Amino acid sequence: MIRKVLIANRGEIAVRVARTVHELGLSAVAVYSEVDRAALHVRVADEAVLIGKAPAKESYLDVERIIAAAKKSGADAIHPGYGFLSENPALPEACERAGLTFVGPPASCMRSMGSKPEARAKMSAAGVPVVPGANAASLDEARAAAAAIGYPVMLKAASGGGGKGMRLVASEGELASAWERARSEAKSAFGDDTVYLEKAIIRPRHVEIQVLGDRDGNVVHLFERDCSIQRRHQKVVEESPCPAAPAELVAKMGEVAVRGAKAVGYFSAGTFEFLLAEDGQFYFLEMNTRLQVEHPITEWITGVDLVREMIRVAEGQQLGYEQRDVVRRGAAIECRVYAEDPSSNFLPSPGTIKSLRVPSGPFVRDDGGAYPGAVISSFYDPLVSKLSVWAPTRELAVARMRRALSEYVVTGIRTNLAFHEKLFAHPEFIAGRYDTGVIERFRDELLGYARVPKADRERLAIAAAVQAARAELSTARADSAALQGGLSPWVREHRARS
């Protein structure tokens, strides 16, 4: 039995894991770097261990320090969250040596899914459709393979992922230089210059299937998430159901994912990423052997607490339900709120949060790791929170997200909230007609922001001050009217504005 869980992570995901740990009646141990002393994940834990300096390599990415913190605190299990060590087989292996329970999949699965050609081969053998492709050891081999596959082709790093080292090649004339560039990029990013080829899928959607397995080989899927709204390979909005996938297609993808998971002896939570082509064909891309950032939307539509299931499975408990017991209901959407500056091409905008009021109300969830006064550090991911909503239909979920976004107040840092508001007002998004290229295609509409020309700034500031004074005066008048038995000050205030 697990009694104490060390959470080898920080920020919102560490807070989220701690919540379930507490619901299970267990205690939560936080780890923190020197700049995270005052972080929310430290405050919500039952105890916390300092593990090193701010750079992740000297703290959150250091297996030995994590294991030492677990021993020091008497934890008997480690949950890795996402990012950092979550997909590094060295952590489950070190846990095993130290007699700790790792709350995640087997190291062997992490290892085989970490190599893309190996993952493709394993999945293909299990009957999972993969993008037609080929390995190539030289430019000549690549040329022959590309001719056989047919252009356009995609060059990808074998040890890569997340789009790094990836190159689209439209024709044979572009191959030689793309080949050299892909190899050198792969070498510097992953220390491995192995590159392979895939047929390029044009205007794909990114649709992924959540799976959950136990140590006895029971595996179910928890439906799909559409994560096509991305920018520079960073997901920004995720939703379920996928607006472009009929139920039969999802059932087929789910079946395939379960088959793939069983073929590699997978247990715990995991995700199969697929490209969904315009013709309805789908292809395996990669498997994520961790809890994903966007897991809340799956929790919304299924009612399953994924962290709870991960902990139960790690303890050796069986899932206790079958595929037909997993039912989906309604629609869920998540917006990632990042500390980014829209006026500098969405570069991270770290700093101290001055005021923070996150949305709530019916069917609204905010997974955050910040509070007023908290610092968004430049050392880590600039995610402020994940705002997610549920509603019976997609249309109502979109309306609910717009309402929730309108409640969000954060000052002191810049964020991408205005981007979300524009996206949720965009006709193509509202219609569910989008693919992985949508942000680039509508960049002027979605990424632009209101600029005030220097010459107008003073006049605008005066106008704003005058308006603020008027609003204050009208509230004061409404207050005195209310005392005399008139309209409520709130109603008066609204009437004064219209």
Q: Using an 8 Å Cβ cutoff, are 162 and 293 in contact?
A: no
Q: Is 288 in the site for ligand MV4 (CB under 6 A)?
A: no
Element (H, E) at 347: strand 347-348
Sheet containing 101-102: which strands, arranged edge to edge?
A: 47-52, 27-33, 4-7, 77-79, 101-102
> Binding segment for ligand MV4 among 41-49, 53-61, 160-168, 359-367 (CB under 6 A)?
160-168
3-state class (DSSP) for residue 442: coil
Structure-token pair, residue 192: 């491995």
Angle at the Cα of 411 from the Cα atoms of 423 and 407, rounded to 5 degrees? 50
CB nearer to ligand MV4: pick between 4 and 235? 235
* Residue 5 binding ligand MV4, by CB under 6 A: no
CA 171, distance to chain mean position in Å, is 34
Place of tokens 């965009």: 426
Cβ within 8 Å of residue 128, ≥6 positions away: 256, 257, 259, 260, 272, 284
Judged by CB under 6 A, the number of residues near ligand MV4 is: 18
Q: Which of 464, 469, 405, 477 is nearest to 495 (CA)?
A: 477
Nearer to ligand MV4, 297 or 304 (CB): 297
Q: Any contact of residue 359 with ligand MV4 (CB under 6 A)?
A: no
The piece of 11-19, 81-89, 159-167, 446-454 that touches ligand MV4 (CB under 6 A) is 159-167
Cα diameter, the chain:
89
Q: Does 198 bind ligand MV4 (CB under 6 A)?
A: yes
Distance CA 491, CA 484 (A): 15
- Residue 383 CB partners (closer than 8 Å, separation 6+): 11, 12, 293, 336, 337, 338, 339, 369
Q: How far is the CB of 149 from ligand MV4 (least distance, A)?
A: 10
Span from 38-46, 157-165, 334-342, 490-498 in contact with ligand MV4 (CB under 6 A): 157-165
Pick 77 or 154: Cβ nearer ligand MV4: 154
Q: Mask: binding to ligand MV4, 116-135, rule CB under 6 A, as x and -?
A: ---------------x----
**Where does this chain touch ligand MV4 (CB under 6 A) — which range of 195-203, 327-335, 405-413, 421-429?**
195-203
Contact 291, 12 (CB under 8 A): no
The single residue listed with the structure tokens 């920004």 is 236
Pick out residues in 259-278 that bind ligand MV4 (CB under 6 A).
275
Which of residues 201 and 387 has its CB atom nearest to ligand MV4 in the complex?
Answer: 201
| Known catalytic residue at 290 | yes
420-439 mask for ligand MV4 (x: CB under 6 A)? Answer: ----------------x---
Q: Say whether residue 113 binds ligand MV4 (CB under 6 A).
A: no
Does the protein bind ligand MV4 through residue 349 (CB under 6 A)?
A: no
Give the footprint of ligand MV4 on residues 229-248 (CB under 6 A).
Answer: 230, 233
- The minimum distance between CB 73 and ligand MV4, in angstroms, equals 36
Nearer to ligand MV4, 152 or 350 (CB): 152
Q: Is 201 a binder of ligand MV4 (CB under 6 A)?
A: yes
Which member of 290, 328, 336, 365 is catalytic?
290
402 with 375: CB under 8 angstroms? no
Q: Is 154 in the site for ligand MV4 (CB under 6 A)?
A: yes
Q: Decide: is 163 part of the binding site for ligand MV4 (CB under 6 A).
A: yes
Site for ligand MV4 contains 207 (CB under 6 A): no
Peptide bond into 152 cis (omega under 30): yes
User: Crossing angle for the helix pair 247-263 and 116-125, nearest 10 degrees?
Assistant: 110
Tell me how far, at minimum, the Cβ of 201 lies from ligand MV4, in Å.
4
Are 195 and 155 within 8 A, CB to CB?
yes
Residue 197 as a binder of ligand MV4 (CB under 6 A): the answer is no
What positions carry a catalytic annotation?
Answer: 290
Q: Which residues sit at the interface with ligand MV4, rule CB under 6 A? A: 131, 154, 161-163, 166, 198-201, 204, 206, 230, 233, 275, 285-286, 436
